[in-house]
């Protein structure tokens, strides 16, 4: 069974993420399940500390009714998907970490606000914390996403073992019927002929270990980038537009191309400035 966890606050952003996730898993013939989690984070002491005369936060009942309506709508649209609701009280990042630690989800799918990124869902540094610390892949879906597409999947390439692992995690979600576009930043000004030769061997390795058959690559000069995280993420966003990438895969290893370019800040910037759906996948090997 494929199973996905989606944080829900009943906003347009979370509804976009739900539709995207449902379209994503509907392409598979195996049984599918979606857990919708709503975390109450706005309780005040007036509700928490009244031991003598316990009172229920009225927002709880409102959210429960909202969830009922949402589930009814989703059951009608996606009858082949099993939907479950989860309610938690506390910090969203901590609750998601706890839930994903108890079940092996294929991904956590979250709606974002584009330029403000996952700050729409997580408060403060929790965005960065969840991407780096959860062992579950995190798929961010910008609010302007029209629907699930996987014609061209992008992966920033540095010829590292972790890239194979990220691809294997992505295949578990979406299969391997897509064109993989490997994006290489020529930060050391290497000879193009040497890079082409390395790509030939690397593509053969990817085919043998993932089953992906349709693979292309593009080499970008270092002049497009500098060590400012804002400019790097902006330049990468332009590359994604030029290459018509539908979904970007990002390795969360310490030796990924992002970390090598601008250390860890690029992951934060990409999380806050998503322009296309982006899968942040943990890797054990680099």
pLDDT at 202: 97
Q: How confident is the model at residue 252 (pLDDT cuts 50, 70, 90)?
A: confident
**Residue ranges of domains in the chain, CATH in brackets:** 2-142 (3.40.50.620), 152-281 (3.40.50.620)
pLDDT at 269: 65
Question: Bridge-partner residues for 205, per DSSP?
Answer: none
pLDDT greater at residue 190 or residue 115 = 190
Q: How many helices and strands in the chain, by DSSP H and E?
A: 10, 10
- How far is C-alpha 47 from the geometric centre of its chain's CA atoms? 35
State how far the alpha carbon of 256 is from the alpha carbons of 162, 229, 251, 263, in Å: 8, 15, 6, 9
Residue-wise pLDDT for 46-94, tens only, equals 444 545 555 556 678 888 999 999 999 999 999 999 999 999 988 878 8
Complete DSSP assignment for 141-197: EETT--S---SEEEEE--S-HHHHHHHHHHHHHH-S-SEEEEEEEETT---HHHHHH
- Please say whether the beta carbons of 270 and 236 come within 8 A: yes
Structure tokens at 168: 């294997």
Torsion, Cα of 10, 12, 13, 14 (10° steps): 30
Q: How confident is the model at residue 208 (pLDDT cuts 50, 70, 90)?
A: very high
Structure tokens at 282: 């943990």
pLDDT greater at residue 75 or residue 11 = 75
Flag whether pLDDT at 124 surpasses 50.
no
pLDDT greater at residue 236 or residue 48 = 236
Question: Bridge-partner residues for 220, per DSSP?
Answer: 185
First to last CA, the chain: 29
Structure tokens at 19: 């539709």
Element holding 48 (H helix, E strand)? helix 45-48
Flag whether pLDDT at 243 surpasses 70.
yes
Flag whether pLDDT at 273 surpasses 60.
yes
- Please say whether the beta carbons of 145 and 16 come within 8 A: yes
Flag whether pLDDT at 196 surpasses 80.
yes
The DSSP symbol for 113 reads: -
Phi, psi for 139 (deg, rounded to 5): -110, 110
pLDDT at 56: 58
Cα–Cα distance, 92 to 115 (Å, whole number): 21
Please enumerate, as own/partner, the contacts of 251-255 that have beta carbons within 8 Å and a separation of 24 or more. 251/156, 251/160, 251/162, 251/163, 251/165, 251/166, 251/281, 251/283, 252/131, 252/132, 252/280, 252/281, 252/282, 252/283, 253/160, 253/162, 253/283, 253/285, 253/286, 254/286, 255/158, 255/160, 255/162, 255/286
Flag whether pLDDT at 176 surpasses 70.
yes
Residue-wise pLDDT for 21-44, tens only, equals 999 988 876 778 999 999 887 554
């Amino acid at each position: 069974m494929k199973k996905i966890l989606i944080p829900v606050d009943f906003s347009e952003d979370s509804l976009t993420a739900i539709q995207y996730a449902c379209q994503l898993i509907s392409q598979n013939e195996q049984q599918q399940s979606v857990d919708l989690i709503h975390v109450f984070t706005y309780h005040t002491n007036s509700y928490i500390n009244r031991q003598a005369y316990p009172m229920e936060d009225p927002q709880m009942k409102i959210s429960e009714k909202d969830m009922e309506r949402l589930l009814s709508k989703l059951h009608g649209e996606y009858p082949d998907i099993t939907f479950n609701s989860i309610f938690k009280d506390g910090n969203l990042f901590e609750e998601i970490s706890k839930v994903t630690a108890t079940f092996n989800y294929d991904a956590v799918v979250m709606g974002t606000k584009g330029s403000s990124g996952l700050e729409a869902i997580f408060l403060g540094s929790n965005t960065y914390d969840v991407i780096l610390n959860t062992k579950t892949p995190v798929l961010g879906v910008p609010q302007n996403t029209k629907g699930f597409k996987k014609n061209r999947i992008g992966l920033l390439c540095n010829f590292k073992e972790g890239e194979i692992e990220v691809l294997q995690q992505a295949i578990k979600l979406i299969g391997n019927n897509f064109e993989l576009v490997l994006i290489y930043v020529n930060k050391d000004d290497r000879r193009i002929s040497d890079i082409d030769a390395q790509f030939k061997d690397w593509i053969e390795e990817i085919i043998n270990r993932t089953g992906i058959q349709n693979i292309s690559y593009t080499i970008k000069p270092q002049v497009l980038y500098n060590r400012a995280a804002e400019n790097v993420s902006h330049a990468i966003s332009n590359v994604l537009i030029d290459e018509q990438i539908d979904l970007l895969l990002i390795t969360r290893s310490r030796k990924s191309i992002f970390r090598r370019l601008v250390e860890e800040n690029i992951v934060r910037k990409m999380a806050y400035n998503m322009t296309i759906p982006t899968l942040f996948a943990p890797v054990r090997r680099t």
